[in-house]
Amino acid sequence: MSERKRMSPERFEAELARHRQLSFAGVDPRGRPLVRVFDVVHHQGRIYMHGAPRGEKLALLGRPLVAHAHRVVAEIPSHFTDPRRACPATTFYASVQVEGQFSTVDALERKAEVLSQLVGGRQATGSFVAMDPAHPEFARLYAKVIDALWVGEFEISARHGRFNFGQHKSAAVAEAILEGLWTRGAAGDIEAIGEILEAHPQRLAPSWSRGPEGTRLCVNLDRRRTEASARLLEGAYWRPNYDLEMLAGVQVAASAWVGLETPEGELVGTARAVSDGVDYAYIGDVMVAEPWRGRGLGKALTRGLLDHPRLRSVRHQFLVTRDAMELYAPLGFDTLGRLGTRTWMRRRPASVESPR
């Protein structure tokens, strides 16, 4: 295996944990190859699954198995990096493989513990009685069902992870790919941009990401940025009485989000929009950290948002502001009118044709 594509142990564990289904393959005692897909849960360094206590999968018990999961991050066409040749086309991916063996979990308490991890993690909403043997209703609600289920434990004996996010490509080629992804803006491309930037050994700076004062436009909203964005917006005049959780939720629900980060990785600007992707977009939560204001960040941030693939061809782009009209007017926003203390503004991108 190419060393440059091998995953570090940390990357491997994070990648494996993303997968809630794994394909297990082995050979049954009669020599026939068999593949089964299971819903899995990763718990205490092992993998658990469940099913009916019958069927072909049981023929795999105690036999050497391999489990595999593959994730396509982005398909990269050749024209991103070469105007003529078709051959640089590639797929960025992350692939994990584990080897090991199944055994059956027999003890009711252990089965309940594993199943509650397996089922609980897939049901974030709604309420149900915990699968806890100490719960007074456990015996009535669960004991029989759990007893009748097969719960498998997969002990891992070997781990292999392989990924291609362009980490071994030159900075110039990787930046050309980032330009291509931003221009294309297909489903998953924004997330791919984040993964490529994070994986590359050099600090990449595609043209669209270069902001004032050494800042960079970031476009994928990971957990750290969600929290930082919520903190920036705390106390904004248009968001009275919003706590950090609500502010974070609003960012995550956006159709498009952009931020500006300092070279040290501090988020100093945030902006977002909700949109139907064709006719209407509403831009909001534009905020630059106070010490960074007046240096062009607000303009760069808004420009970056307007150029976002999910926004750039939306016909009517609206916003409401109390006093920042001079920020938005040079970016193409016209004043529609005032409502109380707020001014409504609208932009219609020149490049987008009106519907007939």
- CB-CB contact of 268 with 292 (8 Å): yes
The reply on whether position 18 binds ligand COA by CB under 6 A is no
Q: How far apart are CA 159 and CA 66, in angstroms?
A: 10
The reply on whether position 286 binds ligand COA by CB under 6 A is yes
DSSP character for 277? S
Considering the complex, state which of residue 115 and residue 319 has its C-beta at the smaller distance from ligand COA: 319
- Of these, 4, 63, 293, 338, which contacts ligand COA (CB under 6 A)? 293
Q: Give the residue at shortest CB distance from ligand COA.
A: 298
Number of residues lying near ligand COA (CB under 6 A): 16
Considering the complex, state which of residue 162 and residue 295 has its C-beta at the smaller distance from ligand COA: 295
Considering the complex, state which of residue 113 and residue 285 has its C-beta at the smaller distance from ligand COA: 285
- CB-CB contact of 49 with 152 (8 Å): yes
Kindly write down the DSSP assignment for every residue of 117-176, as one continuous string.
HHHHTT--SS------TTSTTHIIIIIHHHHHSEEEEEEEEEEEEEEESSTTS-HHHHHH
What the block records as the tokens of 174 is 């990787």
Q: How far apart are CA 40 and CA 350, in angstroms?
A: 50
User: Given the rule CB under 6 A, which of 70-78, 102-110, 247-255, 287-295 is the region that contacts ligand COA?
Assistant: 287-295
**61 residue type, one letter:** L
Count Cβ atoms within 10 A of the Cβ of residue 192 and give its class: 0-12 exposed, 13-18 middle, 19 or more buried.
buried
What the block records as the tokens of 312 is 């750039």
Nearest C-alpha neighbor of 190 from the set 164, 210, 230, 220:
220
User: Given the rule CB under 6 A, which of 29-37, 110-118, 173-181, 318-326 is the region that contacts ligand COA?
Assistant: 318-326
The reply on whether position 296 binds ligand COA by CB under 6 A is yes
Considering the complex, state which of residue 55 and residue 263 has its C-beta at the smaller distance from ligand COA: 263
Q: How far apart are CA 334 and CA 326, in angstroms?
A: 10
Q: How far apart are CA 270 and CA 288, in angstroms?
A: 7
Considering the complex, state which of residue 204 and residue 287 has its C-beta at the smaller distance from ligand COA: 287
What the block records as the tokens of 199 is 């994986």
User: Given the rule CB under 6 A, which of 27-35, 90-98, 110-118, 317-325 is the region that contacts ligand COA?
Assistant: 317-325
The reply on whether position 287 binds ligand COA by CB under 6 A is yes
The reply on whether position 342 binds ligand COA by CB under 6 A is no
Residues 162-181 touching ligand COA, rule: CB under 6 A, are: none
Smallest separation (angstroms) from ligand COA to the CB of 259: 12
* R_g of the chain computed on alpha carbons: 25
Considering the complex, state which of residue 146 and residue 345 has its C-beta at the smaller distance from ligand COA: 345
Smallest separation (angstroms) from ligand COA to the CB of 248: 18
Neighbouring C-beta atoms of residue 169, cutoff 10 Å = 20
Q: How far apart are CA 97 and CA 173, in angstroms?
A: 29
Residues 186-245 touching ligand COA, rule: CB under 6 A, are: 236
- Of these, 98, 250, 288, 314, which contacts ligand COA (CB under 6 A)? 288
The reply on whether position 294 binds ligand COA by CB under 6 A is yes
User: Given the rule CB under 6 A, which of 33-41, 112-120, 172-180, 316-324 is the region that contacts ligand COA?
Assistant: 316-324
The reply on whether position 324 binds ligand COA by CB under 6 A is yes
Q: How far apart are CA 305 and CA 219, in angstroms?
A: 9
The reply on whether position 43 binds ligand COA by CB under 6 A is no
- The helix-helix angle for 171-184 and 189-199 (nearest 10°) equals 160
The reply on whether position 51 binds ligand COA by CB under 6 A is no
Considering the complex, state which of residue 60 and residue 300 has its C-beta at the smaller distance from ligand COA: 300
- Of these, 143, 323, 335, 338, which contacts ligand COA (CB under 6 A)? 323
Q: How far apart are CA 349 and CA 351, in angstroms?
A: 5
Which residues are at the interface with ligand COA (CB under 6 A)? Answer: 236, 286-288, 293-299, 321, 323-324, 326-327
